[in-house]
Amino acid sequence: MAYALDKPSTSMLGRLGRPARLLIALGLLAGVLLSTPPARAATISFTWSHLKDGAGTTLRFASPTSLQFGPDGRLYVAYQDGTIRAYTVQRQGADNYRATAVETITAIKNTANHDDDG
């Protein structure tokens, strides 16, 4: 059997034009990309914890407007009336936190309001 090296290609892809070959290549690429399984999101779970006082009673915050941990590690709770309480929080175990000390800050609450417009 003789092979002719000078004959033009008679394969199916050889007979197709450039746009058709490009479409086939894009189709194959899309098939590969779409057949890849999507990445799974990490499962995130939260648990419910209560902040308790030294006696083990759950603290109740009446009308707090803001909660923020300060640079000193204490939990600052601001209330509608201007009172701020700073709680020293200590972890006792998993989901078990105690306020070992509480400081009440009234400097903002006791500031006179002179209806200053700025």
Overall number of domains in the chain: 1
d(CA 64, CA 77) in angstroms, rounded, equals: 7
pLDDT (0 to 100) of residue 26: 77
- Specify if 83 maps to a domain: yes
- Specify if 35 maps to a domain: no
pLDDT (0 to 100) of residue 11: 57
pLDDT (0 to 100) of residue 74: 94
d(CA 5, CA 86) in angstroms, rounded, equals: 89
- Specify if 93 maps to a domain: yes
Q: How would DSSP label each residue in 32-54?
A: HHHHSPPPPPPP------EEE-T
- Specify if 85 maps to a domain: yes
pLDDT (0 to 100) of residue 31: 72
Q: What are the angstrom distances between the C-alpha of 32 and each of 29, 36, 39, 95?
A: 5, 7, 15, 46
- Specify if 36 maps to a domain: no
Query: What is the domain range of residue 83?
Result: 50-105
pLDDT in tens, the chain (118 residues): 555 555 555 555 566 677 777 778 777 777 766 666 667 888 888 888 888 988 889 888 888 999 999 999 999 999 988 899 999 999 988 888 999 999 999 988 888 775 566 5
